[in-house]
Amino acid sequence: MKKLFNLLLVTFMAVTFFACDDDEKEGTTPKGLEFTTTQRSGMTVVSGSSEENFTMRANQKYLLEGFVYVKSGATLTIEPGTVIMGDKASMGTLIIERGAKIMAEGTREKPIVFTSAQPAGSRNPGDWGGLIILGAAPTNLPSNNAKIEGGVDREYGGTDAADNSGVVKFVRIEFPGIAFQPDNEINGLTLGGVGTGTVIDYVQVSYCGDDSFEMFGGTVNAKHLIAFKTVDDMFDTDNGYSGKLQYLVGISDPTLADASGSNGFESDGDAQGSDATPKTSAIFSNVSLFGPKATASTTFNTNFRRGLHIRRNSNIQLHNSLVAGWPTGLLLDGTKTQANATAGTMAIKNTVISGSANALTVESGSTFDVAGWFNAAGNGNSVEADNATLNISGGFNQTSRPSFTGNNLQGGASFDGLDSFFERVEFRGAFGAEDWTAGWANFDPKNTAY
């Protein structure tokens, strides 16, 4: 018999519960599915692994206990409006293995929520693991069978750039991010070798104990991503990730930062900065990274570092964006990365850096003229000493829902050289007249009753 999920239905009396795939009749025992039950208060506890398709229903609450694996060939479907919680003691984590799929397609009115099992008012970053999706798209690692970090011990990568791991749309991931070991963490949403057949759109990661979003190789594209009050990096790209992304916003909490140094972007070619291919060459447009420093007098955690830390032979591009309120705006780090910038394979264009005491920097000892490169004619970049000149103060709001629209960045965008994935808009940063976070995002998850 195949290895399956062990489900504990938590009720006030012991009962037997059966969940059906879409092609099976309700009220019958599905072939190949067996559940055990026990008494606890109101939740379906999910543990173990499954080689069978399974559906999480919106009329139930689920608790992830330990590492929960959806194995190759299986599809996990999650209905709009479903709430899934992570168990803190066992480091609850959901892993979609290479060859498996997740179909988590919420709606604006009924987003799918992964969150902490702790009561409202008692939730914190790192209350559970996170969501890990593994695929068979290319990486620049020596083997197509690399193991994803976080103690998960599952493989990712391959040769199928169009690999399909499913859909994650209108989904919130709250209070995830656990350090399994130093430099070996579980992020909010981890994408390892995920391909372009996968849909990632309208996803918010809030109060993550590590990086909100990390892409280890792969080609998957994404739009409408929110990194809210992240402890470590907002968006981390490495191991040859080459996707395209538009409409990303990151919002800092000035009190929350990691001892390793918290950044908006952290981008590496690979851990060694080697010449391995494919290069990390993701293309970003319409990004807003709000750091901890709303004004020159704002007090913030000294572990905050840079809006953009681009290093180790990275070749990413950033277009039509805003990097605001970071101690350092850009650190262009290392001779290979700087050579990529000179060659034009690594690029920043039509982007504003504001409110940074050190807007443009290189590593100690480097003679690279980063200011000359950034400000070169045709790049369309600028540096503003004060955030106030851009009318963006609402993005730093710490006491209520941030206000993103109505800023002074409603023109100046250019999409020369970018393909049709990118919507042609006039504005720079993540927002024009429309607030695309409305209706599904949550900027007070600590106090939300689930």
User: With contact defined as beta carbons under 8 Å apart, do 132 and 80 qualify?
Assistant: no
Positive/negative CA dihedral, 200, 325, 320, 262: negative
Cα separation, 86 vs 197, whole angstroms: 27
**What pLDDT shows up at residue 301?**
98
Any long-range contacts for 446-449 (C-beta under 8 Å, 24+ apart)?
446/120, 446/121, 446/123, 446/207, 447/120, 447/121, 448/115, 448/120, 449/120
> Does residue 138 have a cis bond before it (omega within 30 degrees)?
no
**What pLDDT shows up at residue 399?**
84
Smallest Cα–Cα separation from 344: which of 386, 310, 315?
A: 315
Average pLDDT, whole number, for the chain? Answer: 91
pTM for this prediction: 0.93
| H-run or E-run covering 370 | helix 370-374
**What pLDDT shows up at residue 292?**
98
Question: CA separation (Å) from 287 to 321, 343, 432?
Answer: 5, 23, 12
Cα separation, 34 vs 7, whole angstroms: 8
Calculate the CA dihedral of residues 321, 199, 140, 308 and round it to 10 degrees: 20
Structure token pair of residue 18: 């059966």
User: With contact defined as beta carbons under 8 Å apart, do 192 and 156 qualify?
Assistant: yes
Residue 15 has pLDDT above 60, yes or no: no
User: With contact defined as beta carbons under 8 Å apart, do 314 and 267 qualify?
Assistant: yes
**What pLDDT shows up at residue 245?**
99
Mean pLDDT of 14-42: 39
pLDDT tens-place string over residues 32-91:
332 222 325 689 999 989 988 999 999 999 999 999 999 999 999 999 999 999 999 999
pLDDT tens-place string over residues 378-399:
999 999 999 999 999 999 998 8
pLDDT tens-place string over residues 298-323:
999 999 999 999 999 999 999 999 99
Any long-range contacts for 52-59 (C-beta under 8 Å, 24+ apart)?
52/2, 52/4, 52/21, 53/21, 53/77, 54/5, 54/19, 54/21, 55/19, 55/20, 55/21, 55/22, 55/79, 56/82, 56/84, 57/19, 57/82, 58/82, 58/110
**What pLDDT shows up at residue 40?**
53
Structure token pair of residue 27: 């009220």
Helices (H), 226-366: 335-343
**What pLDDT shows up at residue 302?**
97
Least trusted range by pLDDT, from 2-6, 25-29, 174-178, 183-187: 25-29
How large a percentage of the chain has pLDDT more than 70? Answer: 90
Residues 6 or more apart whose CB falls under 8 angstroms from that of 94 comprise 64, 68, 70, 76, 84, 114, 129, 130, 131, 132
**What pLDDT shows up at residue 181?**
64
Length of the chain: 450
Residue 122 has pLDDT above 60, yes or no: yes
How large a percentage of the chain has pLDDT more than 90? Answer: 85
Cα separation, 434 vs 225, whole angstroms: 15
The one-letter code for the residue type at 287 is: V
**What pLDDT shows up at residue 400?**
86
pLDDT tens-place string over residues 340-378:
999 999 999 999 999 999 999 999 999 999 999 999 999
Using a 10 angstrom Cβ sphere, with 0-12 exposed, 13-18 middle and 19 or more buried, the burial of residue 28 is: exposed
Q: Is 447 helix (H, G, I), strand (E, B) or coil?
A: helix
The one-letter code for the residue type at 391 is: N
Smallest Cα–Cα separation from 165: which of 95, 216, 223, 227?
A: 95
Residue 439 has pLDDT above 90, yes or no: yes
pLDDT tens-place string over residues 181-223:
666 789 999 999 999 999 999 999 999 999 999 999 999 999 9
Cα separation, 407 vs 176, whole angstroms: 31
